Structure 1
Amino acid sequence: MIARPALTSVEARIDAFANRLLRSAPATGARARLVEFTVFVLKQAWACVFGATFLAVVVAAKLWYPDDAALARNDALTIAAVVIQVVMVAGRLETLRELRVVVLFHVVGTVMELFKTDVGSWMYAADGVLRIGGVPLYSGFMYAAVGSYMVRVYRLFDLRFSRYPRRWLTAIVAAAIYANFFTHHWIVDLRWVLVAAVVVLWGRTTMRFRFFRGTFRMPLLLAFAGVAVFIWLAENIATYAGAWLYPSQVGGWHPVDASKLSSWFLLMIVSVVLVTWVYPPREPDPVALSAADKQIAVP
């Protein structure tokens, strides 16, 4: 049996409290399901604490940060992002192993930001000195937030995978996806070909996660799609708060086009592949393959 990734000391206390709450609920019935669902949602929220906290700071800066402040708003956001990251590690909310993935996401995201802003795909306000070219340094932390969620949810829910594809194949697809974010400006956009490749490669993969009374399972592609939708919703909040703007939003904000969902779906694949090189995909324990499994989605 493969050992479950260790929780941090803070997470262990939170997990113990959540389990006490769940044990105090009825074993069956509507109230039991409501308590389990509430704890599940809160656990998901805990997994994305970095991104949620930074998004809250971005919204607060839009609402209350003074326009005539000595410190530029973009620089204040960058400093806030650094402080959040330091608190995450110092407070044992994130492990050093996870921090490596977060830093890698930061680098990958910043390189993309430099290119995308140069070709006019989106833009940032021009204030502040903590920037590289037209890209404020806080932009990389938005990608890092995705990486933080991915590695934390992997550990918090003890994720296991059945029929996970070979990692070298996933690395090839992820590299092609990342390259397409650049090359589609000059050659044909291959995103739908890449989406098809993702469906073929991960189509048979089932994700299992541990939660209180049992092990649950769902198709991995469904999980990818669900996370992409939540990132798209967060993107709408971030653009409304002025973290960045697409050219069509300069004259007045409007919701981000739903076509961006395909981009976030593909970015999810890059994220997952990066995480698997820190936390290799693990097969379920034999008990998780028993008839006692609970099905929460149609495979």
Structure 2
Amino acid sequence: MRAIRQLVRFGWEQALSCVFPVVIFASLALTQLISLPLLPRYDWLLVICLLMQWWMLRSGLETRDELKVITLFHLIGLVLEVFKVHMGSWSYPEEGYVKIFGVPLYSGFMYASVASYLCQAWRRLQVELICWPPFWIVVTLAAAIYLNFFTHHFWVDIRWWLSALVLIVFWRSWVAYEVNGTRYRMPLALSFVLIGFFIWIAENIATFFGAWEYPNQTEAWSLVHLGKVSSWLLLVIVSFLIVATLKQVKDKIR
């Protein structure tokens, strides 16, 4: 029974950490089912995301430092979105007043919501990193993974080499967390895979409700290829490495 209670409490903490992503998915579903007046759907999604961000900060669910991290992820995601849409990887076919090179501004919040989850789960579960690699290795690896999202369109795709490198670099690394006063830990590589898989599920939900559209979904919605898990896995790794690095830098400043 104690194990069940711990699992329920862990799930509850995870659910609280996912407030921002849940609001985004709910907004996608609502605006797909109900036609809102005055503004195009993409612009309403932006308004909802901005209001949600303001409320989370005002209510104390999010700290100012976490807002800075989330803003950084919004910019990183928006740059990637502009490039990927330009290369035809996916598209945003609906109308919108607030678009940059065919990309609605709300799209950056989908990346920001991943950062929001990581920041809140980190704080709620009192995450601690064990056997964390040197700073320069982490920064170099994160930069290489992010750049590969761009360069593989013009050069060889090295995602699998990067994935293997992640396993080598973080082979001895663990993430420790606390639930109801009890400390647990799991291999960091396993946590990457689990988060990446659940984000792939979230991607299927998002595309079903028209958040964006892959070329094979133009005529009718279809399941996102399982190979996309590798892309989301690498994106999660970049997100985690950035958050972890910023947390360590902040601790050293203190």
State TM-score, norm by structure 2. 0.95
1:261 deviates by 0.5
Q: Which residue number in structure 2 is paired with residue 187 of structure 1?
A: 155
Structure with larger Rg: 1
| In the alignment, structure 1 residue 40 sits paired with structure 2 residue 10 | yes
Q: 2:180 aligns with which of 186, 204, 212?
A: 212
> Residue 262 of structure 1 aligns to which amino acid in structure 2?
S
Structure 1 unaligned blocks of 5 or more: 1-29, 283-299
- SS of corresponding position for 2:8: helix
> Per-residue CA shift, 1:163-193, capped at 9, x if unaligned?
1111210110110111100010011000001
- SS of corresponding position for 2:247: coil
Contact kept? 1:164, 1:281, Cα under 8 Å: no
1:268 deviates by 1.1
RMSD: 1.5
Work out the CA distance in 2 between the residues paired with 1:36 and 1:163: 26
Percent identity, aligned pairs only?
41
| In the alignment, structure 1 residue 72 sits paired with structure 2 residue 40 | yes
Work out the CA distance in 2 between the residues paired with 1:35 and 1:192: 38
| In the alignment, structure 1 residue 255 sits paired with structure 2 residue 213 | no
1:221 deviates by 0.5
Contact kept? 2:130, 2:173, Cα under 8 Å: yes
Runs of 4+ in 1 over 6 A off after TM superposition: none
Work out the CA distance in 2 between the residues paired with 1:113 and 1:107: 10
Structure 2 unaligned blocks of 5 or more: none
| In the alignment, structure 1 residue 96 sits paired with structure 2 residue 64 | yes
Which residues of 2 match residues 47-126 of structure 1 at below 5 A? Answer: 47-66=17-36, 69-126=37-94
Work out the CA distance in 1 between the residues paired with 2:58 and 2:129: 31
Q: Which residue number in structure 2 is paired with residue 278 of structure 1?
A: 246
1:213 deviates by 4.0
Work out the CA distance in 2 between the residues paired with 1:49 and 1:280: 25
Of Structure 1 and Structure 2, the greater helix share is in 2
- SS of corresponding position for 1:268: helix
Contact kept? 1:54, 1:84, Cα under 8 Å: no
How many residues are aligned here?
Answer: 251
State TM-score, norm by structure 1. 0.81
> Residue 30 of structure 2 aligns to which amino acid in structure 1?
A
> Residue 29 of structure 2 aligns to which amino acid in structure 1?
V
Q: Which residue number in structure 2 is paired with residue 8 of structure 1?
A: none
Contact kept? 2:9, 2:180, Cα under 8 Å: no
| In the alignment, structure 1 residue 155 sits paired with structure 2 residue 130 | no
- SS of corresponding position for 1:279: helix
